[in-house]
Amino acid sequence: MIDLHTHSIFSDGELLPSELVRRAVVHGYTAIAITDHVDFTNIEHVLDGIKKATYLEEVWDIQVLPGVEITHVPPQKIGELVSLARKLGARIVVVHGETLAEPVIPGTNRAAIEGGADILAHPGLISREDAALAAEQGVCLEITARCGHNRANGHVARVAEEVSAALVVGTDSHSPDDLVTDEQALKIALGAGLSEKRANDALISQPLNLINAHK
Instruction: List pLDDT tens digits, range 8-35.
Output: 999 999 999 999 999 999 999 999 999 9
Q: pLDDT band at 215, cuts 50/70/90?
A: confident
- Look at residue 104 and tell me whether its pLDDT is greater than 90: yes
3-state SS class at 5: strand
Task: Look at the pTM and tell me if it is higher than 0.85.
Answer: yes
Please, which pLDDT band fits residue 76 given cuts at 50, 70 and 90? very high
> Three-state DSSP class for 79?
helix
Average confidence (pLDDT) over 205-213 = 96
DSSP-derived 3-state class of residue 77:
helix
Q: Which domain holds residue 208?
A: 2-213
For residue 135, the model assigns a pLDDT of: 98
In this prediction, residues 112-122 reach a mean pLDDT of: 98
Q: Across-strand partners of 63?
A: 31
Q: Which of 31, 33, 35 is nearest to 1 (CA)?
A: 31
Determine the Cα–Cα distance for residues 113 and 34; give it in Å rounded to an integer: 21
What are the pLDDT digits (tens) for 181-203?
999 999 999 999 999 999 999 99
Q: Which helix (H) or strand (E) holds 137?
A: helix 128-137
Give pLDDT tens digits for 30-59. 999 999 999 999 999 999 999 999 999 999
Can you give the pLDDT at residue 214?
Answer: 81
Residues 61-80 as b or e (16 or more Cβ within 10 Å = b): ebbbbbbbbbbebebeebbe
pLDDT digits (tens, 9 = 90+) for 150-183: 999 999 999 999 999 999 999 999 999 999 999 9
Instruction: State phi, psi for 28 to the nearest 5 degrees.
Output: 90, 15
Q: What is the pLDDT of residue 82?
A: 98
Q: What is the mean pLDDT of residues 136-145?
A: 98
Q: Which residues pair with 69 in a beta bridge?
A: 37, 94
Whole-angstrom CA distances from 2 to 62, 115, 125 are 10, 24, 25
Sign of the CA dihedral with 117 first, then 168, 129, and 38 last:
negative
Per-residue pLDDT at 43: 98
- From start to end of 63-180, where are the E strands? 63-70, 92-96, 119-121, 140-144, 167-170
Q: How far is CA 42 from the centre of its chain?
A: 19
* Phi and psi torsions of 92, nearest 5°: -130, 120
What is the tally of structural domains in the chain?
1
The CATH number given to whatever domain includes residue 200 is 3.20.20.140
Cβ of 152: how many Cβ atoms within 10 Å? 22
Q: Name 3's bridge partners.
A: 32
Average pLDDT for the chain: 98
